[in-house]
Amino acid sequence: MAEKDQLNFNNTKIAFSHKSSHDLKKARLLFNSFSYKWLLKLGPGMAKMALGFGFKGIIKSTIFDQFCGGESIRECKKAIDLLASRNVGTILDYSVEGEEDEKTFKETCSEIKKTIDVASGNDKISFSVFKTTGIGRFNLLAKVSSGKALSKLEEQDYARVKERFESICKHAFEADVHLFVDAEESWIQPAIDALTEQMMFKYNIKKSIVFNTIQLYRKDRLDYLKNQIKTKKHFMGFKLVRGAYMEKEAARAKELGYENPIQPNKESCDKDYDEAIDYCLDHIEKVSICVGTHNEKSSLHCVKRMRELGLENSDSRVYFSQLFGMSDHISFNLSNANYKVAKYLPYGPVSAVVPYLTRRAQENTSVAGQAGRELSLINKELKSR
Ligand X SMILES: Cc1cc2nc3c(=O)[nH]c(=O)nc-3n(C[C@H](O)[C@H](O)[C@H](O)COP(=O)(O)OP(=O)(O)OC[C@H]3O[C@@H](n4cnc5c(N)ncnc54)[C@H](O)[C@@H]3O)c2cc1C
Nearer to ligand X, 64 or 245 (CB): 245
Task: List the one residue out of 345, 343, 315 whose CA is nearest residue 329.
Answer: 343
The mark string for 125-164 relative to ligand X (x by CB under 6 A, - otherwise) is: ----------------------------------------
For 32, other C-beta atoms within 10 Å of its C-beta total 13
Instruction: Name the phi and psi angles at 368, rounded to 5.
Output: -75, -15
Minimum distance of ligand X from residue 131's CB (angstroms)? 8
197-293-88-27 Cα dihedral, nearest 10 degrees: 140
Nearer to ligand X, 21 or 31 (CB): 31
The mark string for 318-337 relative to ligand X (x by CB under 6 A, - otherwise) is: ---xxx--------------
Indicate whether 182 belongs to the interface with ligand X (CB under 6 A): yes
Indicate whether 253 belongs to the interface with ligand X (CB under 6 A): no
Q: Is 86 helix (H, G, I), strand (E, B) or coil?
A: coil
Spell out the SS3 assignment of 279-310: HHHHCCCCEEEEEECCCHHHHHHHHHHHHHCC
Minimum distance of ligand X from residue 326's CB (angstroms)? 8
Among 105, 344, 347, 356, binds ligand X (CB under 6 A): 344
Among 40, 46, 229, 246, binds ligand X (CB under 6 A): 246
What distance in Å separates the CA atoms of residue 72 and residue 168, rounded to the nearest whole number?
Answer: 19
Minimum distance of ligand X from residue 379's CB (angstroms)? 20
The mark string for 212-241 relative to ligand X (x by CB under 6 A, - otherwise) is: -x-x-x-----------------------x
Partners of 52 in beta bridges: none
Indicate whether 269 belongs to the interface with ligand X (CB under 6 A): yes
Nearer to ligand X, 40 or 382 (CB): 40
Instruction: Name the phi and psi angles at 338, rounded to 5.
Output: 80, 10
Span near ligand X by CB under 6 A; candidates 51-59, 111-119, 201-209, 263-271:
263-271
Q: Is 320 helix (H, G, I), strand (E, B) or coil?
A: strand
Tell me which H or E stretch contains 361. helix 354-363
What are the angstrom distances between the C-alpha of 372 and each of 10, 35, 170, 359?
14, 9, 42, 17
Bridge-based pairing state of the strands 318-323 and 179-181 = unpaired
Nearer to ligand X, 263 or 335 (CB): 263
Nearer to ligand X, 105 or 238 (CB): 238
Minimum distance of ligand X from residue 335's CB (angstroms)? 14
Nearer to ligand X, 178 or 294 (CB): 294
What distance in Å separates the CA atoms of residue 187 and residue 191, rounded to the nearest whole number?
Answer: 9
Q: Is 245 helix (H, G, I), strand (E, B) or coil?
A: coil
Minimum distance of ligand X from residue 233's CB (angstroms)? 25
Indicate whether 266 belongs to the interface with ligand X (CB under 6 A): yes
Among 118, 183, 199, 289, binds ligand X (CB under 6 A): 183
Indicate whether 242 belongs to the interface with ligand X (CB under 6 A): yes
What are the angstrom distances between the C-alpha of 40 and each of 358, 360, 366, 378?
8, 11, 12, 22
Total binding residues for ligand X by CB under 6 A?
Answer: 24
Residue ranges in contact with ligand X by CB under 6 A: 182-183, 213, 215, 217, 241-246, 262-263, 265-266, 269, 292-295, 321-323, 344
